[in-house]
Amino acid sequence: MAPPIIKLDDIHLTFGGTPLLDGADLQVEPEDRICLVGRNGSGKSTLMKIAAGLVEAQSGEIFRHPKATVRYLEQAPDFTGFDTVRAYAMAGLAPGDDEHRVDYLLEHLDLSGDEDPAKASGGEARRAALARVLAPRPDVLLLDEPTNHLDLPTIEWLEKELRAFRGALVVISHDRQFLKSVSRATVWIDRGRTRRLEKGFEAFEDWQNEVLEEEERAQHKLGRAIVREEHWLRYGVTARRKRNMRRLGELHAMRERHQSHRGPTGQAKLQASDAKDSGKLVIEAEGLEKRYNGRPVIDDFSLRVHRGDRIGLIGPNGAGKTTLLKLLTGQLQPDAGALRLGTNLEIAILDQKREDLDPQMSLEMFLTDGRGNNLVVNGEQKHVTGYMKDFLFQPEQARTPIRELSGGEKARLLLAKMLARPANLIVLDEPTNDLDMETLDLLQELVAGFAGTVILVSHDRDFLDRTVTSVIAPAQMEAPDGRWISYAGGYTDMLAQRREQEVRSKPSPAESSSAAVATKASSRERKLSYKQKFALETLPGKIAEAEQKAGELEDLMADPDLFARDPESFNRAAEDLASLRGKLEAMEEEWLELEMLREEIEAG
């Protein structure tokens, strides 16, 4: 076994109150691929900074190989003293390093190098910081949320770059797909301590559940043992005093162990405030166009959004995702085309730029709009500190200025503000940035189970697969030209449909050029029949109605006393539900086939 490059043993660090790190360990060996996981505020970034030598622990043993080069990607890079992005990236090189590597990285990260760091966007800042840490090919690469603000093509390029990287890697990320792609070991920080699994992130969640279940069983056994000992001391034989004193001491030790046990950190409680149902047709867009400096960003785009749809927008940075989002929600006027919003729409918007956050404002003032210490959620008055607890904020943080919050806390604060507003259309622009995985899970459940309509922009492939019913992407991902296509299903479904379209569009080697031209002409002439068009427009409504009826039947059968009270009604409901599910599946398959046919005709 090779000696470790970095070794942290029994690390302790407290910033007041509960210890942040309480005996944490981390060992990094050559060619390790470690993902560091845990809740927001669990100490992941702090442990990584200790490994990088940027933060001092209060106690513990720390070893860093004296000849090893270590590079740390921080979440908020400091560009002070650098006039250009190239100068900033070059400063990461050591004497003798290849300067051409910086140019290679800047090119692949879509940076010219002449950008002014002081004016860089979040995505440009993250890409510049990546170029700086990747350029020297260090022995250890420590990456803190490397995918934040990156678009999908850049994330996929970074995955390939890291898989080819020969040094050791430790990475913190909320992007499940990214972690699965780059990790071979997992270190979990939980309540100040670390546990290590010699498998990549794909095995983490099952392992985590097993650990927590075993811990719960152990605590239950300890509680029962305490009850037994207390009973023995009260009613047992008292003659053997020495033995009794020993058992009394053991009881005190068990009580102390039981009381000092820190249970798993609580979960955020995400629930959207109810609003009246919107009309069945939420958005109708016909021939939308938008140009900037003569370049088409949105070109002849049409879409119908029905109540209950969950739509994901993806594409490279600069392709026009946010522009399309604002056009569809009426925040931006198109250069051409028509937009019609449905009836009874109440829209709640989460903006990735966090423009609503005043750094000087307290959490209490932000959540209540400065109207005292109460807010109305779902028609009920709630005290702001009680509502804050649902989003894992402590009561004493009510008067904390927003500037003191971490990135994850700011993300949760914006979610808290948005979810307090009654809405039947939720618009989320990059909602996953800085959220921990547990909060992401809850956000996924909220989006997937929301009774209204959701439109979101995200680069998180796993989040898209778990939440959306359709994906809108540029027709040309590498060089967007303003044309956008809608695909049924999530991100993985979109990739499969694009691959299928590419296979179908490739001419057979036996075809002559004249036959290929004739095929294309024939494809352009194809049209949906009136019956097919009508089915395409009406099926989503029928599917929604069938889903509602299925839900009502499931609620009826959930009554534990129904079968005993009225077995005939129970059996009839079971038969109706089975029949309805069969019809639902048939309608969904028909709609999917028609939608793919429509896209094929339009693409042709």
**What DSSP assignment string belongs to 325-354?**
HHHHTTSS--SEEEEEE-TT--EEEE-TT-
From 442, 474, 506, the end of a domain falls on 506
Lowest mean pLDDT of 21-35, 60-74, 384-398, 452-466, name the range. Answer: 384-398
> Model confidence at 516, in pLDDT bands (50, 70, 90)?
very low
In a domain, 253, yes or no: yes
Q: Tell me, what's the pLDDT at 520? A: 44
pTM over 0.85, yes/no: no
pLDDT of residue 287 exceeding 80: yes
Q: Rounded to whole angstroms, how far apart are CA atoms 351 and 418?
A: 10
* Residues 127, 49 share a domain: yes
- The closest of 330, 325, 354, 471 to 415, measured between CA atoms, is 354
* Residues 181, 81 share a domain: yes
Q: Tell me, what's the pLDDT at 524? A: 42
**Residues of the chain with pLDDT > 70: what percent?**
85
In a domain, 492, yes or no: yes
* Residues 237, 191 share a domain: no
Beta strands 168-172; 59-64: pairing state: unpaired
Q: Rounded to whole angstroms, how far apart are CA atoms 577 and 258?
A: 48
Mean pLDDT of 269-284: 78
In a domain, 595, yes or no: yes
Sequence-separated contacts (24+) of 74-82 with Cβ below 8 Å: 74/129, 74/144, 75/45, 75/144, 75/145, 75/148, 75/407, 77/125, 77/126, 77/128, 77/129, 77/132, 79/117, 79/118, 79/120, 79/125, 79/128, 82/117
Residue predicted with more confidence, 456 or 565: 456
**For residue 158, which phi and psi values (nearest 5 degrees)?**
-65, -40
- Mean pLDDT, the chain, integer: 84
Residues of the domain holding 533: 518-603
**How do residues 333-345 score in pLDDT, each as one tens digit?**
999 999 999 998 8
From 260, 290, 322, the end of a domain falls on 260
pLDDT of residue 272 exceeding 70: no
* Residues 180, 82 share a domain: yes
pLDDT of residue 509 exceeding 80: no
- Output the domain CATH number for residue 160: 3.40.50.300
pLDDT of residue 240 exceeding 70: no
Asked whether 526 and 601 are in contact (CB, 8 A), the reply is: yes
pLDDT of residue 6 exceeding 90: yes
Instruction: Please tell me whether 319 is known to bind a ligand.
Output: yes
Report CA torsion sign: 317, 320, 322, 324.
negative
Q: Tell me, what's the pLDDT at 51? A: 96
Instruction: Please tell me whether 569 is known to bind a ligand.
Output: no
* Residues 574, 463 share a domain: no
Instruction: Please tell me whether 273 is known to bind a ligand.
Output: no
Instruction: Please tell me whether 318 is known to bind a ligand.
Output: yes
Mean pLDDT of 421-444: 83
* Residues 20, 136 share a domain: yes
- The closest of 79, 76, 28, 81 to 52, measured between CA atoms, is 28
Q: Rounded to whole angstroms, how far apart are CA atoms 187 and 197?
A: 6
Lowest mean pLDDT of 45-54, 282-291, 492-501, name the range. Answer: 492-501
Contacts of 33 (CB under 8 A, 6+ apart): 168, 169, 182, 183, 184, 185, 200
Place of tokens 């470790």: 4
Instruction: Please tell me whether 45 is known to bind a ligand.
Output: yes
Q: Rounded to whole angstroms, how far apart are CA atoms 540 and 533?
A: 12
Lowest mean pLDDT of 228-237, 385-394, 416-425, name the range. Answer: 228-237
Token pair of 554, please? 């499931």
Q: Rounded to whole angstroms, how far apart are CA atoms 451 and 237?
A: 64
In a domain, 364, yes or no: no
Residue predicted with more confidence, 34 or 536: 34
Instruction: Please tell me whether 505 is known to bind a ligand.
Output: no
In a domain, 530, yes or no: yes
Instruction: Please tell me whether 43 is known to bind a ligand.
Output: yes
Q: Tell me, what's the pLDDT at 229? A: 62
Lowest mean pLDDT of 102-116, 152-166, 191-205, 585-599, name the range. Answer: 585-599
Mean pLDDT of 275-284: 85
Contacts of 338 (CB under 8 A, 6+ apart): 285, 286, 287, 288
Instruction: Please tell me whether 41 is known to bind a ligand.
Output: yes
Q: Tell me, what's the pLDDT at 521? A: 42
The one-letter amino acid code at 20 reads L
- The closest of 1, 10, 4, 141 to 63, measured between CA atoms, is 4
Instruction: Please tell me whether 112 is known to bind a ligand.
Output: no
Beta strands 70-73; 59-64: pairing state: unpaired
Instruction: Please tell me whether 23 is known to bind a ligand.
Output: no
Q: Tell me, what's the pLDDT at 250? A: 64
Between 567-603 and 530-557, two packed helices, what is the crossing angle to 10 degrees? 150
Instruction: Please tell me whether 317 is known to bind a ligand.
Output: yes
Mean pLDDT of 464-482: 91
Buried-exposed string 268-305: b where 16+ CB fall within 10 A, e elsewhere? bebebbebeebeebbbbbeebbbeeeeebbbbebebbb
Q: Tell me, what's the pLDDT at 533? A: 75
Place of tokens 């507003």: 421
Instruction: Please tell me whether 334 is known to bind a ligand.
Output: no
pLDDT of residue 519 exceeding 70: no
> Model confidence at 326, in pLDDT bands (50, 70, 90)?
very high
pLDDT of residue 507 exceeding 90: no
Residue predicted with more confidence, 173 or 17: 173
In a domain, 145, yes or no: yes
- Give the three-state DSSP class for 419: helix
Token pair of 379, please? 């028609």
> Model confidence at 356, in pLDDT bands (50, 70, 90)?
low
Q: How many other C-beta atoms are found inside a 10 Å radius of the C-beta of residue 178?
A: 25
In a domain, 360, yes or no: no
Instruction: Please tell me whether 137 is known to bind a ligand.
Output: no
Instruction: Please tell me whether 408 is known to bind a ligand.
Output: no
Asked whether 487 and 497 are in contact (CB, 8 A), the reply is: yes
- If phi > 0 it is left, if psi is from -120 to 50 it is alpha, else beta; for residue 41 that is left
* Residues 342, 326 share a domain: yes
* Residues 226, 138 share a domain: no
In a domain, 361, yes or no: no
pLDDT of residue 600 exceeding 90: no
Q: Rounded to whole angstroms, how far apart are CA atoms 395 and 411?
A: 18
Instruction: Please tell me whether 452 is known to bind a ligand.
Output: no
> Model confidence at 161, in pLDDT bands (50, 70, 90)?
very high
Mean pLDDT of 176-181: 94
From 506, 537, 560, the end of a domain falls on 506
* Residues 279, 149 share a domain: no
* Residues 186, 111 share a domain: yes
When divided into structural domains, the chain yields a total of 4
Instruction: Please tell me whether 39 is known to bind a ligand.
Output: yes
Asked whether 48 and 170 are in contact (CB, 8 A), the reply is: yes
Lowest mean pLDDT of 111-125, 179-193, 207-221, name the range. Answer: 207-221
Asked whether 407 and 434 are in contact (CB, 8 A), the reply is: yes
Contacts of 408 (CB under 8 A, 6+ apart): 40, 41, 434, 435, 436, 439
* Residues 226, 115 share a domain: no
CA 18 to chain centre: 28
**How do residues 539-551 score in pLDDT, each as one tens digit?**
888 888 888 888 8
Radius of gyration of the chain from Cα atoms? 28
> Model confidence at 83, in pLDDT bands (50, 70, 90)?
very high
pLDDT of residue 19 exceeding 90: no
* Residues 37, 105 share a domain: yes
Token pair of 112, please? 């010219």
**How do residues 193-231 score in pLDDT, each as one tens digit?**
999 999 999 999 889 888 888 877 777 676 666 666 665
**How do residues 28-38 score in pLDDT, each as one tens digit?**
999 999 999 98
